[in-house]
Amino acid sequence: MTVDESFNQYLDRAVKHYSSLFKLPSYGRIIALSVFVCLIGGLFSITSLFPFIQNVIHGVLFGLLLFIVTIFLNHFLKHFVLKKDPVYDLRRIATLSLFCWILWIFFILIGFIFSIIFGFGNVWAVRFCLLGFSAVLILRFIVLYVTSSSGLKHFIVAATFPPLASLVPFLFLWSRAIELWRVFFFIVYAFGVVLISSFIFLFLLNNVGKQTVGFPSLSIFRGFLLNWIADLNEPFESFLESLGKMSSVDVSILRFNSKSSSIFVVVPSVHPGPFKNIGSSLLPSMVKMTLEEKFGGVACTPLGLLGHELDLASQKQSQKIINHVVESADFIVSDEGATQFVKVRNELATVCCQIFGGIALMSFSLAPNTTEDLSSELGSIIRQEALKRGLNACIFVNAHNSINGTPNQKEALKALKEAAIACLNAAASSSKAAFKIGAATVKPKDFHLVDGMGPGGITVLVVEVLGRKAAYVVLDGNNMVSGLREKILSALQSLGFEDGEVFTTDTHSVNAVTLNARGYHPIGEVMDHEKLINYVNEAARLALEKLEKAKVGFRSVTVDSVKVIGREALEKLCVLPDMVLRRAKRVVVPIFAVTFTLLMLFLLLI
């Protein structure tokens, strides 16, 4: 297994762990389940103390009372206690209440069984109900500590008030069976035991993060939660900024000027990740939109040859690069010649090349096999070959246009090198001629982030040299399903294009917005292919209408002191969920076995 394969597995596992936390039922279903659970709890609670047949109706009424109290408490928390908490809407509050009742009723059921064994009216029903109350306190302390950002006072009220209020109906029920002062003493004792055991458990989990990345595990998780649920990027990015390292980022800018507009192809040595609106995930569309706003025309930002180690640590770092790109993109263009579009294929790889002035624009693909992140080592090798052939510079694009299994990285790299050198030879030996260029962007109204389409939409660049037209299709997404690239190229041929290539930007703005196993949808996985191709054709037609004679210029800029996450830090963050889960599995039984033993020993005195 290569380092990249191992790293991607870490990322996949982290996505699966986090995405599983958000698969909640609808609010209506939660309410229906809450009614059912409370009714069961009411029946077991009444019939544990009194004969069954005579008190079924009382049990149902008691269960309805528990449900009404629960609904009141949910709304109280929503409108007064957790009002400003970005995580806890009414559905999540109700879900927490439901799980608390399920846990509580497990203990009530045990008490019911003990009542059957030892006789109705036995104090064992009370003991196990109070044990369930303690279990609910533990659950709420842990869950709210991990997920809520409302402050200490609100946390304490949200954790303790609902269980205490829910216990009041039971106190009336027990008033004839037990001395209530004993219950009050137990509640005080239980609070102490629960606080200590919960603190120990949380401390041990937090310590995993402190030892691994220098920050408490659960604080990092809370930052992630705030991003996933409330789109708040700063809490999580604050950790990335602290963990990141300074680096220099190179940006290649290819500018075309025609009579009526400017067109930009910008390839930064930045990976557009790690997910959603964190770091540089939105960089491709942000660069595109900022350049278009500043200069007019059309811009696109395909992916370079790099990996997740060059994810930026925050949006602030992204803005730093955008500012440099905008400042640097205002330059004079003078070259009027370009070669025709050249494509070379072998058994595994497809490489395309077109030379503008003294600049080679090259793309790399393994389609229909998986084309994921490609090593910068490949670019270094081909750049040396280009310089030997008299070229001034190269812009390398990872087409990132097929996802279909895991290729053999060693064989793939060899095939890409061979195809690239052959393609470079063919392009470098071709004569240059005047060229025309046109570009257009279409933003599909049918496709959104959850479908795998980023805010940059679909951009098509059309280049015509000596009557032959080639199309560069840039989709703002994270890869595409195998076979779709070929469908798009076939459709473009029917519009009169001799050749072309399809790219995705690899934007990770589409990551962590869906709950599937991968954590995102590549282009075409849930999209209607016919609709998508129609949008591509629409952009291509608009680009053809704008086709004009143009000049080209190139600039390479270096942005210093940019903070990237780095492979080591990102890998540690990705393996952290696994490490925390392993620690939790090791300590949960010993800690809470001792906790419930201490609680039960006190309950034996009741």
Within 10 angstroms of residue 9's Cβ, the number of other Cβ atoms is 14
Within 10 angstroms of residue 290's Cβ, the number of other Cβ atoms is 17
* CA angle (528, 292, 334) in 5-degree steps: 115
Q: Is 383 domain-assigned?
A: yes
Residue 357's pLDDT is what?
A: 96
Q: Which of 230, 343, 338, 321 is nearest to 267 (CA)?
A: 321
Q: Is 438 domain-assigned?
A: yes
Residue 410's pLDDT is what?
A: 87
Measured CA distances, 249 to 81, 237, 243, 292, 306 (Å): 46, 19, 18, 22, 12
**Which residue range(s) make up the domain with 348?**
245-564
Residue 584 has pLDDT above 60, yes or no: yes
* Helix ranges restricted to H, 371-457: 376-388, 409-428
Residues in the chain: 606
The mean pLDDT of 64-82, rounded to a whole number, is 98
Q: Binning pLDDT at 50, 70 and 90, where does residue 175 land?
A: confident
Q: Binning pLDDT at 50, 70 and 90, where does residue 308 land?
A: confident
Under 8 Å between Cβ of 64 and 79: no
Under 8 Å between Cβ of 382 and 424: yes
Dist. CA 307–CA 309, nearest whole Å: 5
The mean pLDDT of 65-73, rounded to a whole number, is 98
Residue 2's pLDDT is what?
A: 42
Dist. CA 361–CA 217, nearest whole Å: 44
Q: Is 316 domain-assigned?
A: yes
β-pair type (433-442, 458-465)? antiparallel
Task: Decide: residue 334, CB within 10 A, 0-12 exposed, 13-18 middle, 19+ buried.
Answer: exposed
Dist. CA 220–CA 58, nearest whole Å: 47
Q: Tokens 């989709």 identify what position? A: 475
- pLDDT tens sequence across 86-103: 999 999 999 999 999 999
* Helix ranges restricted to H, 444-560: 484-493, 529-545
Can you count the helices (H) and strands (E) in the chain?
Answer: 16, 13
Q: Which of 568, 557, 456, 574 is nearest to 506 (CA)?
A: 456
Q: Which of 297, 267, 298 is nearest to 284 (CA)?
A: 267
CB burial of 262-271 (b: ≥16 within 10 Å; e: otherwise) equals bbbbbbbbbb
Q: Taking the CA atoms of 163, 166, 172 and 173 in sequence, report the sign of the dihedral they define.
A: negative
Residue 169 has pLDDT above 70, yes or no: yes
Under 8 Å between Cβ of 365 and 348: no
Tokens of 64: 């309805």
Q: Binning pLDDT at 50, 70 and 90, where does residue 427 land?
A: very high
Residue 5's pLDDT is what?
A: 47
How many structural domains comprise the chain? 1
Under 8 Å between Cβ of 78 and 93: yes
Q: Tokens 């008033």 identify what position? A: 175
- Distance between terminal CA atoms of the chain? 61
Q: Which of 330, 328, 374, 320 is nearest to 351 (CA)?
A: 374
Residue 310's pLDDT is what?
A: 92
Dist. CA 452–CA 484, nearest whole Å: 14
The mean pLDDT of 258-271, rounded to a whole number, is 96
Under 8 Å between Cβ of 431 and 541: no
Q: Binning pLDDT at 50, 70 and 90, where does residue 409 land?
A: confident
Q: Taking the CA atoms of 548, 550, 555 and 556 in sequence, report the sign of the dihedral they define.
A: positive
Within 10 angstroms of residue 169's Cβ, the number of other Cβ atoms is 16
Q: Is 481 domain-assigned?
A: yes
Dist. CA 190–CA 139, nearest whole Å: 13
Residue 18 has pLDDT above 80, yes or no: no
- In sequence order, what are the beta bridge partners of 437? 463, 548
Residue 29 has pLDDT above 90, yes or no: yes
Dist. CA 402–CA 399, nearest whole Å: 9
270: helix, strand or coil: coil
Q: Which of 318, 311, 314 is nearest to 241 (CA)?
A: 314
The mean pLDDT of 191-211, rounded to a whole number, is 98
* Amino acid symbol at 454: G
Q: Taking the CA atoms of 446, 451, 457 and 459 in sequence, report the sign of the dihedral they define.
A: negative
- pLDDT tens sequence across 325-372: 999 999 999 999 999 999 999 999 999 999 999 999 999 999 999 999
Q: Is 159 domain-assigned?
A: no
Which residues, 6 or more positions from 233, have their beta carbon under 8 angstroms from its beta carbon? 227, 276, 277, 278, 314, 315
Under 8 Å between Cβ of 304 and 267: yes
Q: Taking the CA atoms of 210, 216, 218 and 224 in sequence, report the sign of the dihedral they define.
A: negative
Q: Is 451 domain-assigned?
A: yes
The mean pLDDT of 215-221, rounded to a whole number, is 96
Q: Is 7 domain-assigned?
A: no
Q: Is 477 domain-assigned?
A: yes
Region of poorest pLDDT, from 22-31, 79-88, 494-503: 22-31
Residue 53's pLDDT is what?
A: 61
Q: Binning pLDDT at 50, 70 and 90, where does residue 117 land?
A: confident
Tokens of 178: 């037990």
β-pair type (468-475, 499-504)? parallel
Residue 116's pLDDT is what?
A: 82
463: helix, strand or coil: strand
- pLDDT tens sequence across 435-484: 999 999 999 999 999 999 999 999 999 999 999 999 999 999 999 999 99
Q: Tokens 């061979």 identify what position? A: 418
